[in-house]
Amino acid sequence: MPLLQATTATSGDAAWTDAITADTTFSGLTTFTGGVIQNESAVIAGVTALTTAQSGALFAVTQPNLAPYAITLPATATSAGVWYTFILAVAANDDANITSDGVNMLGALVEGGAAVTAVLNTSVGFDGTGGVVGDHVTVRCDGTRWLVSGIGSNAASWVLG
């Protein structure tokens, strides 16, 4: 979950000059000044199951040249408003696939300058033979579907499943 680091935050009669986490509750008019929102960032190098608490995270995806692997998204029914960004950090010969709980991934990808439409797929992945370092994709859940948008440098950057 993003962490808000505020220099000054006021809500009603209370004031903070410290980190505010997802456990903080506000009421009334709330003002934040001089702060930043920090999202999680991590490396994914193998089979991974994401949680809704990681929403907003930036994941550096590696293809370790061992075997294709899945990055599993949380269930759509409990993920409305959840989003993640994935960027290919190390390219090799194996696919790294972002998978959903059904045929519910929808959106558009750019692949080598041409549009590729992801229409109701179960996965979107970085292609092991065509993925280029810097290719990236963002997925956002509306509670029914994972909405996909991304850019790949090569004409074969993506694997749709």
Reply yes or no on whether the pLDDT at 44 is more than 70: yes
Q: Are residues 15 and 90 in the same domain?
A: no
Average pLDDT, integer, range 35-63 = 88
If one counts every other C-beta atom within 10 angstroms of the C-beta of residue 94, the result is: 20
pLDDT in tens, 91-141: 888 899 999 999 999 999 999 888 877 678 999 999 988 999 999 999 999
CB 140 within 8 A of CB 118: no
pLDDT at site 99 = 97
Residue 2 pLDDT grade (very low, low, confident, very high; cuts 50, 70, 90)? very low
Domain extent at residue 13: 3-37
Same domain, 90 and 143: yes
Do 73 and 107 belong to one domain?
A: yes
Q: Mark whether 30 and 57 lie in a shared domain.
A: no
Q: Looking at the predicted structure, is the pLDDT value of residue 8 above 90? A: no
- Based on the fold, state whether residues 88 and 15 are members of the same structural domain: no
Are residues 50 and 32 part of one domain?
no
**Claim to verify: residue 113 and residue 137 sit in the same structural domain:** yes
Residues 47 and 117 in one domain: yes
pLDDT at position 15: 55
The pLDDT-based confidence of 23 (bands split at 50, 70, 90) is: low
Per-residue H/E/C for 32-91: EECCEEECCEEEECCCEECCHHHCCCEEEEECCCCCCEEEECCCHHHCCCCEEEEEEEEC
Partner residues linked to 98 by β-bridges: 71, 124
Q: Residue 39 and residue 19: Cα distance in Å, rounded? A: 13
Q: How many domains does the chain have?
A: 2
Tell me what pLDDT residue 116 has. 78
Q: Which of 9-13, 70-74, 154-158 shows the lowest per-residue confidence on average (mean pLDDT)? A: 9-13
The side-by-side arrangement of strands in the sheet containing 19-20 is 19-20, 3-5, 36-38
Residues 87 and 110 in one domain: yes
Q: Are 103 and 119 in a shared domain? A: yes
Going by pLDDT thresholds of 50, 70 and 90, the confidence category of residue 1 is very low
CA distances from 99 to 13, 23, 34, 112, 113 (A): 46, 29, 38, 23, 24
For residue 3, pLDDT over 80 is answered with no
Are 117 and 46 part of one and the same domain? Answer: yes
Q: What is the CATH number of the domain that holds 139?
A: 2.60.120
Other Cβ atoms less than 10 A from the Cβ of 120: the count is: 11
Q: Which of 25-34, 74-83, 144-153 has the lowest mean pLDDT?
A: 25-34
In sequence order, the 6+-apart residues with CB closer than 8 A to the CB of 12 are 27, 28, 29
pLDDT number for residue 19:
58
Q: Are residues 83 and 128 in the same domain?
A: yes
